[in-house]
Copies of this chain bind each other. A is one copy, B any other.
Amino acid sequence: MRHTYREIDACGVKVALKLLAGKWTPIIFYHLGAGPLRFTELWHEIPRVSKKVLVVQLRQLEEAGLVARSVHNGFPPEVSYQLTPKGAGLVPIMQSLDQWAMTHITEAVHIA
């Protein structure tokens, strides 16, 4: 059986990789994996990312259901982010990737 282009893009591995491979996704998961964080807390944990880009990344993860956004209205605003169970299910896979990298790529630094 031949697979069409659309089917290939819908392949589970590709869908998962599309979500994981955002430039800041791994470090977001690393920090949120330790528990919920407010936006600015998370922003301060991640060096050299603009607020705009961080917002965009979080929106994408939220839309995919990997991250939950909780708004507590009032002033000042308070918004916290945390991993959903669906998102948390990717954490062990990231650990596998890290394990693979440590085995095969000596130059890589172990962070997350």
Contacts and interface: CB of A to CB of B under 8 A. Distances in A.
How many residues of A sit at the interface, in one of the four size bands? 35 or more
A97 B93 contact: yes
A107 B67 CA distance: 19
Contacts of A105: 12, 15-16
B12 A110 contact: yes
A26 B18 CA distance: 11
A11 B108 contact: yes
Interface string A13-36: 111111011000011000000000
A73 interface: no
Contact of A109 (B11, B47, B93): B11
Contact of A26 (B11, B27, B86): B11
Interface of A: 2-5, 7-8, 10-18, 20-21, 26-27, 47-48, 65, 86, 89-90, 92-94, 96-98, 100-105, 107-112
